[in-house]
């Protein structure tokens, strides 16, 4: 009797029904990489998950559920997206953020070590750098988060770094800058009505789904007085995750990498670009600066290109904005 070929190993994607997680699931599926996802659907949508990917509804903080999924689906690697991400909310509910982002991550990493899963790609954030004045911000910039959201993510980063030499757990930590846009094929996008991302909110204001876009501060030391941020298309970010997984599966070492393009756009540039793309006016109001908003946040983005061979395909602001607007138009009003 001929030996049966071994079933392909699956990657477990936590939070795969959410904005970034669903884009990564589609990128994995496009690349022919089998996946399974756990999501409690508190903010994610079942419809965002590709049909080919099994969705297990539940909490990533459940050790029993993690063991069931890892054993039952032949998981050899984890991509961890599940968590809470709203900065002001983290200030109001810090313990909830430490529970969801840090304690649940500890449960997940413990399950990985216990069950022999030695590869983790972690969804982190530029918020770990805090209010730095460095431009651009490279990976050697000291970490000094100024809110519980950033602190909770940095704690998970530290757990991954400590688990490496102790347990042989290899990881790629990806620190996102400002993620925006939507899948060019229209399969998924940012669907949370109360999202706080600038491009999402600007599109909602343009379509009359919010009264107006609030522009906080016009007196920053930038060319037009508004804040500058490094916007990265979510599909380029998803591709970075696939490359990170392949790096680990080839036996690559642990890495910490910024995810951005290395250049920024101001709030007013984003508004003008949306108006040019749509041919319509964005209703906007001007308000005072928000506490804690640095004038510029731009990624030092050379390392991810060098180490993973990442080549962005959607790194134009008009393409990012156009895809976000097309997705917003597709949503029920």
Q: What spatial distance separates the first Cα and last Cα of the chain, rounded to whole Å? A: 59
Bridge partners (DSSP) listed for residue 56: 38
Do 16 and 37 meet the contact criterion of CB atoms below 8 Å apart? yes
Residue ranges in the chain assigned as alpha helix (H): 19-30, 63-72, 87-92, 94-97, 104-115, 148-167, 198-206, 234-249, 267-278, 302-308, 317-330
Backbone φ and ψ for 46, nearest 5 degrees, come out as: -55, -35
Tokens linked to 223: 């060319």
What is the torsional sign of CA 139, 145, 147, 151?
Answer: positive
What 3-state class would DSSP assign to 48? helix
Name the DSSP letter for residue 25: H
**Distance between CA 36 and CA 49 in Å, rounded?**
10
Question: 């539940």: which residue's tokens?
Answer: 58
Tokens linked to 2: 């001929």
Q: Is 149 a catalytic residue?
A: yes
Catalytic entry in 149, 176, 231, 261: 149
Do 115 and 167 meet the contact criterion of CB atoms below 8 Å apart? no
**Distance between CA 193 and CA 204 in Å, rounded?**
9
Do 197 and 177 meet the contact criterion of CB atoms below 8 Å apart? no
Catalytically annotated residues: 149
């Amino acid at each position: 009797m001929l030996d049966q070929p071994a079933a392909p190993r699956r990657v477990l994607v936590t939070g795969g029904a959410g904005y970034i997680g669903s884009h990564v699931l589609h990128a994995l599926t496009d690349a022919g990489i089998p996946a399974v996802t756990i999501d409690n659907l508190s903010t994610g949508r079942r419809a965002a998950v590709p049909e080919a990917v099994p969705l297990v509804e539940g909490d990533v903080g459940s050790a029993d559920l993690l063991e069931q999924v890892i054993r039952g689906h032949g998981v050899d690697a984890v991509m961890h997206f599940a968590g809470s991400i709203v900065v002001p909310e983290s200030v109001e509910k810090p313990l909830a953020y430490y529970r969801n982002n840090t304690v649940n991550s500890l449960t997940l990493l413990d399950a990985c070590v216990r069950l022999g899963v030695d590869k983790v790609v972690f969804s982190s954030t530029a918020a770990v750098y805090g209010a730095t004045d460095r431009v651009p911000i490279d990976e050697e910039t000291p970490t000094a988060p100024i809110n519980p959201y950033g602190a909770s993510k940095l704690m998970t980063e530290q757990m991954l770094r400590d688990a490496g030499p102790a347990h042989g757990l290899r990881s790629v930590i990806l620190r996102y800058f400002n993620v925006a846009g939507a899948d060019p094929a229209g399969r998924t996008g940012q669907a949370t009505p109360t999202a706080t991302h600038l491009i999402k909110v600007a599109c909602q204001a343009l379509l009359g789904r919010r009264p107006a876009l609030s522009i906080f501060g016009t007196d920053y030391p930038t060319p037009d007085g508004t804040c500058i941020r490094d916007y990265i298309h979510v599909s380029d970010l998803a591709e970075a995750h696939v490359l990170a997984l392949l790096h680990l599966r080839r036996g690559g070492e642990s890495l910490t990498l910024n995810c951005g393009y290395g250049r920024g756009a101001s709030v007013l540039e984003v508004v003008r670009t949306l108006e040019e793309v749509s041919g319509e006016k964005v209703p906007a109001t001007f308000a005072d600066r928000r506490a804690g908003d640095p004038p510029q946040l731009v990624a030092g983005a050379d390392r991810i290109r060098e180490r993973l061979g990442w080549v962005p395909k959607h790194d134009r602001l008009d393409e990012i904005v156009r895809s976000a607007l097309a997705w917003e138009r597709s949503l029920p009003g």
